[in-house]
């Protein structure tokens, strides 16, 4: 053992002068205990160890006045007993500045896009307190996405937080990708994509698509990939928030933050908590779930300097919306877009459930009266159709009254009209994507509700753009 420690020590780069150095005294997987000759560093302090100071350790807890327990963020590097650990004197830092635009980085701020080192950047700590209420600015403006079902029924607030909830395989990432295409090209601010626990394939596809659509120069991509340690996946969201806050506060620009997937942030926190030996709470989650999620979500807000708008994909385990991770995320959002497995199975994409999805923006005075009235009428018709579905399944459509049959016809046309071909799936479906303005969506729904288009076949409304496209397709049928 002594020979092995000696061999490692020879390769270790000498620490910088004037910085405190401790020694690793215990190793348990990705968790190490480090003893310092003087007072122990504070929680969240970054420590460096190993050859060329490559091993990154974050202080997670204090054992006594001289000993800390730390989490190795890159456990692929070799750790050994007796290895010196240098106290950097501060927390992990993220690169910020104009030089980060158009780049893809990891949790340590290192570029992973093959374009060489970052230039024209400086470094800032990733741990910050949220903006105080006295500096916050209320929102109230609708952020148009070009996706009919979202703009009509769950309008997103500029400077707010919206969640895309759904189980596995219902289209969360596809919807996020489509929003990148629709919103980033028309967005004047900075766009920031944060991949928490992303697959390498997804990261490469998003980077390539943003380059092909010409929006990469105004965007930043931050990834903590699925094959990385739980500590790295847990901290990547804080790195993204630090970059977003810099562009908002120092550059006075609006920032669009897209997070895929916020559940994996919670999951990484649970893994970190388990590694540190904490007793789990409800359904196996960490006891600090609420405070950790709140500390991150509360950093997303508007100030006089600018606004941070966030759209977050939220995986719902086993489609159980009472899961603690889903319920905690719900409480922070201004809009919740719920994706339904039943609608996905019926081929109604995007598979947005119009009755479970909500938005605090859809209130009188926030949206125009016409928008509010049409949205409420659409919900009413779809809710009545849902109530009649059991009767239709048992007795058939012919047993309904004339009025009910009319409701069913309207609802089926509305369901199909709210489907839409996406730019991000055009290569698979063979259908060109459609960006539909809110005005076109309102016009189409209003004409369907009035019965004006009742003679057109239902197939004319499926996977289409605006109502003029529906009429053109219906005339050619």
Active site amino acids: 172, 198-199
Confirm if 271 and 277 have CB atoms less than 8 A apart.
Answer: no
Look at phi and psi of residue 164 and say left if phi exceeds 0, alpha if psi is from -120 to 50, else beta. Answer: beta
Token code pair at residue 395: 């007795």
Distances (CA, A) of 48 to 17, 40, 51, 324: 14, 15, 10, 35
DSSP assignment string, 394-435: HH-GGGS-HHHHHHHHHHHHHHHHT----GGGHHHH------
Using alpha carbons, select from 51, 52, 49, 94 the residue that is nearest to residue 68: 49
DSSP assignment string, 82-121: T-EEEEEEEE-EEEESGGGTT-EE-TTS-B-SSS-S--S-
Distance, in Å, from the CA atom of 197 to the CA atom of 103, rounded to the nearest integer, reads 19
Please enumerate in sequence order all residues whose Cβ is within 8 A of that of 179, keeping only pairs 6 or more positions apart, or say none.
145, 147, 258, 311
Distance, in Å, from the CA atom of 267 to the CA atom of 251, rounded to the nearest integer, reads 33
Angle between helices 289-297 and 262-275 (to 10 degrees): 140
| Strand pairing report for 142-143 and 358-359 | unpaired
Only one residue has tokens 């980085």, namely 105
Confirm if 353 and 344 have CB atoms less than 8 A apart.
Answer: no
Token code pair at residue 273: 């908590």
């Amino acid at each position: 053992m002594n020979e092995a420690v000696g061999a490692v020590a020879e390769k270790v780069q000498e620490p910088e002068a004037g910085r405190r150095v401790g020694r690793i005294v215990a190793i348990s997987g990705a968790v190490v205990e480090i003893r310092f000759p003087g007072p122990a560093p504070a929680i969240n302090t970054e420590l460096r160890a190993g050859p060329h100071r490559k091993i990154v350790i974050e202080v997670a807890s204090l054992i006594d006045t001289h000993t800390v327990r730390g989490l190795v963020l890159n456990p692929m590097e070799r750790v050994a007993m007796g290895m010196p650990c240098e106290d950097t004197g501060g927390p992990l830092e993220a690169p910020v500045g104009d030089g980060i635009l158009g780049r893809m980085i990891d949790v340590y701020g290192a570029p992973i896009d093959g374009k060489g080192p970052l230039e024209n950047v400086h470094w800032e700590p990733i741990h910050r307190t949220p903006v105080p209420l006295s500096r916050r600015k209320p929102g109230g403006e609708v952020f148009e996405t070009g996706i009919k079902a979202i703009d009509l029924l769950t309008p997103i607030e500029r400077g707010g937080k919206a969640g895309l909830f759904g189980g596995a395989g219902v289209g969360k990432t596809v919807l996020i990708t489509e929003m990148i295409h629709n919103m980033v090209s028309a967005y004047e601010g900075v766009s920031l994509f944060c991949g928490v626990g992303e697959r390498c394939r997804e990261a490469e596809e998003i980077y390539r698509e943003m380059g092909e659509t010409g929006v990469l120069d105004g965007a930043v991509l931050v990834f903590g990939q699925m094959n990385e340690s739980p500590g790295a996946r847990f901290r990547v969201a804080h790195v993204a928030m630090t970059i977003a806050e810099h562009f908002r506060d120092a550059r006075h620009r609006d920032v669009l933050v897209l997070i895929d997937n916020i559940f994996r942030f919670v999951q990484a926190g649970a893994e970190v908590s388990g590694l540190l030996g904490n007793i789990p709470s409800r359904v196996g989650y960490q006891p600090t779930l609420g405070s950790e999620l709140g500390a991150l979500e509360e950093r997303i807000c508007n100030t006089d300097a600018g606004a941070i708008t966030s759209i977050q994909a939220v995986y719902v385990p086993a489609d159980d919306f009472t899961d603690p991770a889903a319920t905690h995320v719900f409480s922070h959002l201004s809009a919740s877009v719920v994706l339904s497995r039943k609608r996905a199975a019926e081929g109604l994409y995007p598979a947005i459930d119009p009755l479970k999805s909500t938005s605090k923006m859809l209130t009188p005075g926030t949206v125009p009266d016409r928008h509010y009235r049409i949205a409420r009428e659409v919900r009413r018709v779809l809710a009545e159709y849902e109530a009649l579905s059991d009767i239709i399944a048992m007795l058939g459509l012919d047993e309904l009254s004339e009025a009910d049959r009319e409701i069913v016809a309207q609802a089926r046309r509305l369901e199909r009209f709210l489907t839409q071909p996406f730019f991000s799936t055009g290569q698979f479906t063979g259908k060109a994507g459609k960006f539909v303005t809110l005005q076109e969506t309102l016009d189409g729904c209003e004409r369907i509700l009035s019965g004006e288009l009742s003679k057109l076949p239902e197939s004319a409304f499926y996977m289409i753009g605006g109502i003029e496209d529906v009429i053109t397709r219906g005339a050619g049928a």
